[in-house]
Structure 1
Amino acid sequence: MGIGKILGVIGLIVFLWVAYLGYTLITLTPQIRAEWGYVDENTIELDVTVYFGKPLPISANIKEADLYWAGIKVGTLKDLKIGFLKDSARGVLVLKNREIVEALKEHIRNGEQSDIEIRVSGSIFGIPIIRGSFSHPLKTDLLDYIGNITIESSGDLIKTPAVEGMPSKWGKIDENEIEILSDVKLYNPNSFPLPLFGVKYYIDANGYQVAQGELLEKVIIPANGRGTAKIRTVVDTNILPKVIAEHIKRGERSEVTLKLTLTVKVLNKEVEMPLPEIKKRVETSIIEQLNLALS
């Protein structure tokens, strides 16, 4: 066979490969799914699988795939390789819990609105031509879990005040703390006023104490009347990586307990009034939101 015919056959093969590759890429409908893998207080791993729907006539390498939340890099996808004529590829996305906490702070600063973004770069047959980014908005209302809290009055001779709501807003955010400012709506069912001059307020999540609160100013709750106690709650962000890890281990569910004790004066004596504990289940859909962003 002459050199011309050989080159012709090679040219035909290349043409058919390019044509098939073009058709494959145009009709490609990839499905990208992530599932939780190994989890501890420092890192969280997600097992990422890309389903192409058909074999790809290429060999590709995703050298970098970084996950950003609220503009902060929170994770990196380890080397993901696409084998020649393979219809799927797998990789591990490693998230850093400390960075997730910093992204949460930024998310809160921005009114609990931010973007989840994937930035990808890679190569095909060793040629670095893959580059792109994909994003999906994320909006939350974390304070809603405590804003609608109600606690009924209890007791015999001296009844505890009822809590009729706890509307809250975010306060200062610094390196180690997130501040929550709450207006606790109280009803005094007693026939005498209750001077409130102290509050012990704690929030536990999955067995960890994540926050504690204090009364900002004294208030007198009138007899058979209502008053508002202003409370400052401080969230310890250093414990949040452990809470996040436990939250994911429990299937993105957390048990949050609120403990509130009021200190009042009755007949010139200080009386501590522990209110019934409030238990809340906090559920998220992080993996669902992430899969939306990935796809």
Structure 2
Amino acid sequence: MSIDIGTVRSLLFGSGARIVVTAVCSLVVVAAGAFAAGLVGVPTLESVDNEFGEVTDDRTEIRTFLTVTNPNPIGASAAEVSAEYTVDMNGVEMARGGGSDVALEPGTSTETFTTRMQNERIPDWWVTHIRNGEETEVAIDATVSSGALGRSTDVTDRRTIETDLISQFDSDETRPINANSPATSDPVLYVNGTRANWGDVDERTTELELRFDMYNPKSYDIPVTRLGYTIYMNDIVVGEGETTSERVLRSKQVTPVDTSTHIQNQHLDDWWVTHLQKGEETDLRIEFDARVRLPVVGTTITLPLDELTYEETIETDIWGNKNENESAADETDTTPAPSERTADERTTDEDRETETEQSETDGGGERSETEDDGGILSGLPLSSVSDARVPVLGRS
């Protein structure tokens, strides 16, 4: 059987439509062969960056930016490119997301993905943070892969967050306690030192063990019938309670008074919202009061213990880019208004904007966004507050 060459030409090249189909098929075959032979590169994942977005009572938005370089002169959609990532803290998953059929333009571009963390899981992270000695490892793992080629590229980022929430409570400072009451002269007591340690922590509560070295300057013993506390984080009450076991402060002696306070972990998700709204900053405050009995006058008074109020400023930088973002904001704030610039300066700015728009049109730095539901989060460093010192009395 003979094949007529003219017939073949007619079938393949007999019309403009057939010419287009033939050319497209040829390009697909060539592209597939080039990918398979390794002549066309697999997109490379360059970096992963995160930032917090909108935060509500229930959820925290986490935006993840995957910067990918496509070394090919054409888009990578034919290679079935997909991306996925996870973010966890001490093994507690805080975000998981990604997308399939990622269409990457030639060169370097950034893909944006959004996950929404459930705030109710903040206590899960908190427990691991305290149990781990106030230390958290933030782990970010991301992968860009090609289904057509069976190849992938990974980026792993590890950083450690260390906090020091309570060490500043340790003090040998002597502080007078005044009653401001006609029932007795002031000061009624002195606190010669304070100590703090973490106690038991579980899914419900975090125990904070406190010790006060209290000196009684009076000529009579003073029973302490109640010691109360309230713990605030950005004015959110995260713990409050009291101990009612009586302690007797002997005359002219220093008596150690031990008490346990408790953070109610279920309140930490409410605190988390305020922490992010304030730019990852928290004002920690612990207030105390005591009820003492004065045997000489036969009355019981309540001491506010304002001198023992403990305050700390907690700042966190979960993603490690807080300073960069603040610097960028400062630069923006110091830019003069357009009406204050010269004509030459405005012309230069307009030229830059035109160049930026053209660069984005050419595929440089474009961002496409995909939403996904995801896991959890949180973490914390601090500064101290010092008080005026008074003479040490009755120190043993």
TM-score range, shorter chain: 0.7 to 0.9
Query: For the aligned residues, what is the CA RMSD?
Result: 3.7
- Measure, in 2, the Cα distance between the counterparts of 1:166 and 1:41: 36
What amino acid does structure 2 have at the position aligned with 1:280?
A: E
Which among 74, 84, 89 is matched to residue 111 of structure 2? Answer: 89
Partner deviation per Cα, 1:262-290 (whole Å, 9 max, x = no partner) = 11111242211111144432222223289
5+ residue gaps, structure 1, are: none
Q: How far apart are residue 233 of structure 1 and its match?
A: 0.8
Confirm or deny that 1:153 pairs with 2:169. no
Q: Distance in 2 between matches of 1:11 and 1:210?
A: 61
Q: Deviations over 1:179-216 (max 9, x none)?
A: 22221233444454432221111111222211124337
Query: 1:40/1:101 Cα in 2 relative to 1: closer, same or farther (>3 Å)?
Result: same
Preserved CA contact (<8 Å) 1:82 1:89 = no
CA drift of 1:68 comes to 1.8
Aligned match of 2:166 in 143, 149, 155?
143
Q: Please, which runs of 5 or more residues in structure 2 have no aligned partner? A: 1-21, 324-396
Matched, 1:117 2:142: no
One-letter amino acid of the counterpart of residue 44, structure 1: T
Conserved 8 A contact 1:183-1:231 = yes
Residue 145 to residue 286, structure 1, CA distance change in 2 (3 Å):
farther
Other-structure match for 1:288: 320
Q: Residues 149 and 33 from structure 1, CA distance in 2 versus in 1: closer, same or farther, beyond 3 angstroms?
A: farther
1:33 match: 49
* 1:14 alignment counterpart: 34
Q: Find out whether 1:236 has 2:236 as its counterpart.
A: no
Is the Cα–Cα contact under 8 Å of residues 209 and 260 in structure 2 kept in the other structure?
A: yes
Instruction: Output the TM-score relative to the length of structure 2.
Output: 0.60
Greater relative contact order structure (CA < 8 Å, 6+ sep): 2
Residues of 1 paired with 2:193 and 2:116: CA distance? 40
Aligned equivalent of 1:219, options 227, 237, 247: 247
Q: Which residue of 2 aligns with 1:79?
A: 99
Q: Which residue of 1 aligns with 2:304?
A: 274
State the 1:145 CA deviation.
5.1
TM-score normalised per structure 1: 0.78
For the residue of structure 2 that corresponds to 1:84, the secondary structure is coil
Partner amino acid, structure 2, of 1:48 = T
Q: SS of the residue aligned with 2:279? A: coil
For the residues of structure 1 that align with 2:34 and 2:244, how far apart are their CA atoms? Answer: 76
Contact kept, 8 Å, 1:148 with 1:166, in 2: the verdict is: yes
Which one of the candidate residues 273, 280, 298 is aligned to 1:245?
Answer: 273
In 2, distance between residues paired with 1:105 and 1:254? 18
Give, as a single letter, the amino acid of the residue that structure 2 aligns with 1:109.
Answer: R
Q: Name the residue aligned to 1:178.
A: 206
**Alpha carbons of 1:99 and 1:130: their partners in 2 closer, same or farther (altered >3 Å)?**
farther
Secondary structure at the residue paired with 2:41? helix
Give the letter for the 2:61 counterpart.
E
Sequence identity of aligned pairs in percent? 19
Q: Is the 8 A contact 1:67 1:116 kept in 2?
A: yes
Tell me, in whole angstroms, the C-alpha distance in 2 between the residues paired with 1:130 and 1:151.
63
Structure-2 change in CA distance of 1:130 and 1:287 (3 Å): same
Equivalenced residues, count: 281
- Matched residue SS, 1:288: coil
Deviations 1:235-259 (A, max 9, x none): 1111110101111110111122221
Higher strand share: 1
* 8 Å Cα contact 1:48/1:92 also seen in 2: yes
Displacement of 1:39 = 0.8
Q: 1:103 maps to what in 2?
A: 125
Answer whether contact 1:210 1:240 (CA < 8 A) is retained: yes
Secondary structure, aligned partner of 1:21: coil
